[in-house]
Structure 1
Amino acid sequence: MVRIYFDKQIFSNLFKKDKTKYVKLLDKIRNQRSSLFVFSHAHLLDLKSDKTDIKYSELDFIESIVGDNYLSYHAIEKRTSCYLATPNMAFKDVEHEDDNIDFASLLEFDTTDLNDEDKQKVEKAKKLLTEPILDFNFSGLIDADSEVLDTVSKILPFGKDPMSMIDWSEHMMSLVTKMKDDNKVWKGLRNITDTHFNNGKFTINYDEIDFNDELENSELKKTFTQFVNDNLNPNGTTEVTKYDFFVNAYCTLDLLGISKEPSKKFKFNNMMNDALHSYYGAYTDCVVSEDLAFLKKTRALYRLLGIETKVLHIDEFINSFDFIVEKEASDVSTFIQLLKNDLNNSLIINSHQSLDRDRKTETIKPVHTYLGFFNRIDKIIEDGKQYLYFYRVTYNYSYFKFYREYELVINNAFRIFGDDINFKGKFDWEKELELMRSDKWIGREWNFEDVNFKIENNQGSKEFSLLISFD
């Protein structure tokens, strides 16, 4: 099973159906049963910027493809997770969301019930946040040329009185709004850094990430990853999340002129949303777009960060659809034949003998993905008995499974093996979802002569797995 992530433009093209290739692709998507299409908070932000009512029809259309497979970052918990929410459900929370924050109001809370010590801490915190301690009147800027001075004055409060942390936070919020409204602000800053720092020396292509180490020999005196980290955590006291790092890294590629957006088409808001799409795509197996600038940045960052998610242009995706969305075995005999072929011919990537028991394990990387999900097999021989333990390995940001992935695996297994020994067939969504949430789900089990199949959350590894044992 492949998790597939389309950027907003791909969904729009599928929705419009004004090109033959998209009409044919949509038909294939509707007829496949082996892959999971997902959407993210970034799609909702794209739709929110649409001032027409067409967005509601697009929401319905996107929902017909992705269902309730939703990816979103939780700012308070500082983690990205999957949620059971449809595009329409999730959009209700975003549509009327106010992007502006009144930072001063955050300090207005009742301290009546606090003890004296805690009240003193609160007052000390208020003082730290409201004292004017940030002074941006740099003497070196006085002699700067007019282009630099004009650009810097749009970004930093140059020439103004010292600011408090609250004032600075409000200034940064207004700056983001200004960049969204006036693309010249970001482009002016990018032109300065590109002209006075990069000037074409550091660039990327699809297959190289040399810019990371090469920057250490530049005026920055640090690698690209160090530069991004230091900007986010200058004092070494702040937790830099994957979300913060990735989004800032994506924008920094443009800011430093390493991978610039085309100036004529550039919009700051679009770049920020592209950064989010690229980030959320790292939680899937395949990201698809037709935006060459997006593809270039995403491939470079994935390569830099060791993320093995495929990044494909829409034409590449269409041409390789039948290989990406792998067809599942139709019956038991086909399943067994595929398995025999993998056991005899696939790559053995690890082998070890247990020191405290009569147990040998070989880890196999099969050609086929079993039940549309499992891509690793541990061949175990213990006390003369053979077991095959199937599980999934991914090299990306994802650490979770969608509930719909369980459903697809079980339904694939039902089509191949039929009802299990307890007469359970297709995945019963309402009942089994509740059992999963209460950690009482027992999966499925089949017996065929001297071969037993069991799908479960493994008791030892806690992984979603398939176990085949031979009597």
Structure 2
Amino acid sequence: MIRIYCDKNVYSLLNESNRNFNPELKSLMDDLKDIMIFTYSHAHHEDLSNSDESFWNHDLKLLENYVKDHYFNYDGIKRTTECLLAEPTKSFFDTDFKIYNNVINPNNNILDTMFQLLEEGDNDEDELLKVAKKTFQALLDQPAPNFFDPNLSDKEKEYAERFLPVSQDQTMGSMINNLFKFGNKLLTDKTEVIALKKMMEEFVNSDKYSFEKWRNQFDAKFKENFGGKSFTEMMGDLFNAVDHYNDYDKFIMFFNSLELHNVTRDKPLRKSQSLGSISTDANHAWYASFSDFLITDDKGLIAKAYICYQFFNIKTRILTIKEFLNSKTKFIQQEENDIHRFFKTLEYELTNSVILRKNLNINFEDTEILKNLHKFFNYFNRISVTQNSTKIYCQRHNNANSVMIREAEVLVKKLINLFGIDNNNSGLYSIDEKKSTDEIIRKWNFENIEIIFGFAINNGGNCYCLDFTSNNNIENSLLK
């Protein structure tokens, strides 16, 4: 099933009380919401948490009308991105954003924040923790060494003291707290990001290498101006320097570094965003990589997501709202409403699709893999052909190359609408059926063709598959 990820600003245009309300966009999304999968993520919640609390419930219900419960979230403990069944009106409140904002508040002392809950306790069970705190505090009170090179230039000293002020009585605790405050200022205060970007601009004028000016040549231009090392080579060295970086870590760092190195520029420098806001956009781009389309009119997000998708070989397509609206006819035409037209289209694709590969094996049936132009049911984009069987299935890029729980529900509904009730009279599919990946989900017979819907293994992942089997050559059987 085509998966569509829209950023928060797209959903704001569906609000009829919004002065920028887009009725054409709302009409399209209303038409598609039950035949495609709209996905959302924790990044939507991060955006919403920065708005007035009085809008939360209304915006969550509007979001839920389209995304239902198709939720992506990165689990920092498991270090994996999870595809969950969670409605926005519930998942939003899984995070206490007030506590989160208190933790990242640069005006707070990290040590006080860490032990705040402990100090609120006053029972015997906390005694060991109180001893641990005193021991930890004693370590933090130790004098800190001076890490700065005495030969730094005045400009370098000025910048260095932004994140670690030089002091004769600096302790390990105050040093950690200063680093923490500087990090949180980057997350919350756009002036810190402006300072970093200005420093980079003073080092090399970004017009010499920016994506805005040089497009896909930016990396070569970056190399010319930064000591013979391209931006992607620089990031590759960073990734290789630390063993534990996973794909999520690399993607977020790469995305943020594009802005901090002035490769991309979201807005005029005086309106630059905080790193926290840029990181939320990075998360939107990451979560969208588990879908087929990212819909956004945010030019900064478009540029950075495009570069990241190129570097990490992610095939998610980025569409502006106008391009999304212009795709309506194609989406609607890929819904199958007439059984004879469906088989006629399948026959055409068998004859005219691009041949990706041929598997010739003396021990098994010869197989031909085709890439069809028409995406059947807005899902099946590959065809596997043997002498007596034709299978249509889905092949996606790595992040998205797996099934989502609700996709079977939507597909079975579409198949019943086209082929009628299945052989076993099972009807609509429910996730409560808990089919294992080697079981048939539904089966039909149409004239001399047996049609089986179930799971399949594709190139590097798994998907749903529709198998057409005939005693005769399948191409000769389709229209009889």
Quick check: 1:34 aligned with 2:44? no
- 1:151-190 → structure 2 map (5 Å cutoff): 151-159=159-167, 170-190=177-197
Range that drifts further, 19-28 or 4-13? 19-28
**Matches of 2:382 and 2:439, distance apart in 1:** 23
2:359 maps to 1:352: yes
Partners of 1:332 and 1:417 within 8 A in 2? yes
Equivalent in 195, 207, 216 of residue 209 of structure 1 = 216
Task: Determine helix, strand or coil for the equivalent of 1:259.
Answer: coil
- Where in structure 2 are the equivalents of 1:293-304 lying within 5 Å? 293-304=300-311
- Structure 1 residues 416 and 237: alpha-carbon distance in aligned structure 2, compared to 1, 3 A threshold: same
The equivalent residue for 1:71 is 72
AA matched with 2:94: D
Deviations 1:45-92 (A, max 9, x none): 011111331121000100001000001111111111210001111101
Counterpart CA distance in 2 for 1:135 and 1:70 is 47
Is 2:317 aligned against 1:292?
no
Letter in 2 for 1:307: I
Q: 2:259 aligns with which of 232, 254, 262?
A: 254
Instruction: Tell me, in whole angstroms, the C-alpha distance in 2 between the residues paired with 1:88 and 1:464.
Output: 30
Partner of 1:444: 442
Contact 2:193–2:273, Cα closer than 8 Å, also in 1: no
The 5 A counterparts of 1:323-362 are 323-324=330-331, 326-357=333-364, 359-362=365-368
Task: Give me the CA root mean square deviation.
Answer: 3.2
Q: CA deviation at 1:307?
A: 1.5
Segments of 5+ residues of structure 1 without an aligned counterpart are 113-124
Change (3 A) 1:228 1:329: same
Q: CA deviation at 1:441?
A: 5.4
Residue 138 of structure 1: aligned partner: 149
Aligned to 1:394: 396
- Please give the secondary structure, in 1, of the residue aligned with 2:390: strand
Tell me by how many angstroms 1:409 deviates.
1.0
Match of 2:425, SS state, is coil
Structure 1 pair 20–130 and aligned structure 2 pair: CA distance change class (3 A): closer
1:369 matched to 2:367: no
Superposition TM-score, scaled by structure 1 size = 0.84
- 1-side partners of 2:457 and 2:327: how far apart? 37
Q: CA deviation at 1:21?
A: 7.2
Cα distance in 1 between the residues matched to 2:405 and 2:468: 23
Contact 1:154 1:185 in 2 (8 A): no
Structure 1 residues 459 and 299, CA gap change in structure 2 (3 angstroms): closer
Q: Residue 318 of structure 1: CA displacement?
A: 1.4
Structure 1 position 258, deviation (Å):
1.0
Equivalenced residue count is 442
> Which one is further off, 3-12 or 49-58?
49-58
Q: 2-side partners of 1:155 and 1:232: how far apart?
A: 23
Check the 8 A contact 2:210/2:264 in 1, yes or no. Answer: yes
Percentage identity across paired residues of the two chains: 24
Contact 1:288 1:317 in 2 (8 A): yes
Q: Which stretch shifts more, 294-303 or 218-227?
A: 218-227
TM-score (norm 2): 0.82
1:404 and 2:415 aligned: no
User: 398-407 vs 2-11, which deviates more?
Assistant: 398-407
The answer to whether the 8 A contact 1:361-1:380 is kept is yes
Partners of 1:128 and 1:387 in 2: CA distance: 71
Q: Distance in 2 between matches of 1:140 and 1:325?
A: 67
1:240-299 superposed Cα distances (whole Å, 9 cap, x missing partner): 112111111111111111112222432213222111111111111111111112211211
Q: Residues 98 and 140 (structure 1 numbering): CA distance in 2 closer, same or farther, change over 3 Å? A: farther
The alpha-carbon distance between structure 1 residues 356 and 170, as it changes in their structure 2 partners (threshold 3 A), is farther
Which residue type is aligned with residue 285 of structure 1?
Answer: D
